[in-house]
Amino acid sequence: MSKRYGGLDWLLKEHRRLNSSNRVPAVDCFGGSSEVDFGIPSAFPPPLGSSAFPADEAHLRSVLFPNVPISDRLLKWRPGINISATLTLSSGDPLPKSVHLSNAVARTLHAALEPSTRENYGSGIGVFLRFCFDLGLSVTQIFPISEGLLLAFVGTQAGGKARKTVSNYLAALAAWHESWGQPWVRYDLVGRALQGVAKLAPAKQELRPPVQLSDLLAARMTLDVTNSPLHAAVWACALMSFWSVCRLGETTCPSASFFNPSRHITRAAVGSIQSLPDDVQAVGIHLPWTKMTKMDGMTKVLSSQSDLLDPIHSLLWHLDFNSVPSLVPAQTALFSYKVRAGRGWRLTVLSKDTFLSTFADALRKAGRPSLTGHSFRIGAATHYWHQGATVEEIKLLGGWRSDAFRVYLRDEVRGLAPLQQRLGGSGQ
């Protein structure tokens, strides 16, 4: 076996050396060095006392598949043994300043994929490796991945997974290999097996229900927007998400500790209130990033509605109620809310989970079933459809570039009957 830098012998030798010194070393991973503790066990340790694997199997798994966060697996797990992360010239020699350049590559590759994509790919890679190790295979038997192994993997998913799910697993493996500069073969027979997965897939789950105006009103009755900073923020966020057909990822943050003004909506994004005919008020709110437009962002519009469902009134109340003296609009998430901090207050980011749990609790108190996050976008598209909006108008409101949103439309009778009435009477 090759003894070159990055090969199996080097990996195991380095592993033993660093373990013996009990240091936290800089371990070669794609894109440059990364602080990894070799004392961290593998995400897939072989069974204790097993004699079915080579003597170095546990060491090898620990080096190739350390127990790192799922979103880091793509660039910190290796799809094979004889893979060097060092950037080289065509001669095979390392590039000058290779550590600095490799770090730049790491940052670039990391930024190329959205956090959710890295998370999904990391999970898919883990599913495949768990399948292999459950078969009793050693690392040296897995790579390079053969057509037979891929067929076996795909075949075992049939009957339990949808084709899209299994295709995503394969996309994860492809991205993993490509990120490390390794060839990925797309076998024709595996493609045919995916067709079988589609036909053997379990029955589809029931469609996610839409948020309806009655759900919003029911939740409002149990939310204390006058006295609770959290409830005021949740209510304003719910109405903006619904009326402007936003994804919750555009109006909330992934967690209370993760807020990035270049990705997440801030208070500086709220424009001036404009007065329109018929006593209508409207305001533009700029999203810095959307799934479709990326960093170009998009401006969403809120217009006044009747009574309790008025998004502009709820937004203005939230901004006034959830304010502190030190607030910097461009550095403050739009729906941040106040929490106690000693004798005063501080602002905390409204996360998606907090929003959903608070809204679900309000629905439960009102005696209504809980809804998923996507129900807001589904509900908004369906509401506008029932109000007579055309496909192009719904696409414009929701920021869709294709007709893919049609899967969100619910209650075809209410959506299509007005169209039939209008067209059916055109010849009379």
Question: Which CATH number goes with the domain that contains 392?
Answer: 1.10.443.10
Tokens of 92: 């095979």
**Residue 245 and residue 356 share a domain:** yes
Q: Is the pLDDT of residue 424 over 90?
A: no
Report the candidate in 301, 305, 307, 306 with the shortest Cα–Cα distance to residue 286. Answer: 301
With vertex at residue 220, the alpha carbon angle to CA 215 and CA 224, rounded to the nearest 5 degrees, is: 150
**Considering the chain, what percentage of its residues have pLDDT values greater than 90?**
57
Q: pLDDT (tens digit, 9 = 90+) per residue, 8-66?
A: 454 445 444 444 443 333 334 544 434 444 445 567 776 655 555 676 788 888 889 99
Please give the backbone phi and psi of residue 426, each rounded to the nearest 5 degrees, phi first.
Answer: -70, -25
Residue 91's domain comprises 8-200
- What integer is the mean pLDDT of 136-152? 93
Look at residue 291 and tell me whether its pLDDT is greater than 70: yes
Instruction: Specify the pLDDT at position 25.
Output: 33
Quote the pTM value: 0.69
Q: Which of 168, 200, 232 is the last residue of a domain?
A: 200
Phi first, then psi, for residue 253 (nearest 5°) are -115, 160
Instruction: Tell me if 426 is assigned to some domain.
Output: no
Do 173 and 230 share a domain, yes or no? no
| Token pair in block for residue 115 | 């956090």
> Is the confidence at residue 347, as pLDDT, over 90?
yes
Residues 230 and 105 grouped into a single domain: no
Q: What is the average per-residue pLDDT within 282-302?
A: 93
Does the residue 340 lie in any domain?
yes
Give me the pLDDT at residue 5, please.
39
Report which secondary-structure segment, H or E, holds 151: helix 147-157
37-41, 126-130, 405-409 — most confident range: 126-130
Q: Average pLDDT for residues 333-361, to the nearest whole number?
A: 96
Using a pLDDT cut of 70, give the percent of the chain over it. 86
317 and 388 together in one domain = yes
- CA gyration radius for the chain? 27
Among 75, 103, 77, 101, smallest CA distance to 89 is for 101
* Domain assignment present for 332: yes
Judgement on whether residues 75 and 219 belong to the same structural domain of the protein: no
* Rounded Cα gap, residues 45 and 409, in angstroms: 47
Q: How many CA atoms lie within 13 A of 425 on its CB side?
A: 5
Q: Please tell me the total count of domains within the chain.
A: 2
Q: In terms of domains, do 417 and 277 share one?
A: yes
258 and 114 in a common domain: no
Instruction: Please check whether residue 207 lies inside any domain of the structure.
Output: no
- Evaluate whether 223 touches 254 at the Cβ level (below 8 Å): no
CB 190 within 8 A of CB 151: yes
333 and 417 both lie in a single domain? yes
pLDDT value for 51: 56
Neighbours of 308 (CB within 10 A): 14
SS3 400: coil
pLDDT of residue 297: 94
In this predicted structure, which of 70-84, 233-247, 319-333 has the lowest mean pLDDT? 70-84
| CA–CA dist 288, 263 (Å, integer) | 6
Which secondary structure element, helix H or strand E, spans residue 303, and what is its range?
strand 298-303
In a domain, 354, yes or no: yes
Residue 15 within any structural domain of the chain: yes
Check whether residue 245 and residue 172 sit in a common domain.
Answer: no
65's tokens: 């598949």
Under 8 Å between Cβ of 239 and 309: yes
Q: Are residues 186 and 315 in the same domain?
A: no
Confirm whether 1 is domain-assigned. Answer: no
Q: How far apart (Å, rounded) are the C-alpha atoms in residues 354 and 232?
A: 13
User: Do residues 69 and 94 make contact, with C-beta atoms less than 8 angstroms apart?
Assistant: no
Mean pLDDT in residue range 316-328: 96
Band of pLDDT at residue 131, cut at 50, 70 and 90? very high
Task: Please say whether the beta carbons of 153 and 131 come within 8 A.
Answer: yes
Do 56 and 162 fall into the same domain?
yes
% helix, strand, coil for the chain, step of 5:
50, 10, 40
Looking at the DSSP bridge assignments, the partners of residue 61 are none
Per residue in 353-363, pLDDT tens?
Answer: 999 999 999 99
Instruction: Tell me, yes or no, whether 20 lies in a domain.
Output: yes
Structure confidence at residue 48 (pLDDT): 57
pLDDT-derived band at 199 (thresholds 50, 70, 90) equals: very high
In this structure, the dihedral spanned by the alpha carbons of residues 60, 63, 65 and 66, taken in order and rounded to 10 degrees, is: 130
Single residue among 175, 200, 225 that ends a domain in this structure: 200
Last residue of a domain, one of 167, 200, 233: 200
Same domain assignment for residues 265 and 174: no
Q: How far is CA 52 from the centre of its chain?
A: 39
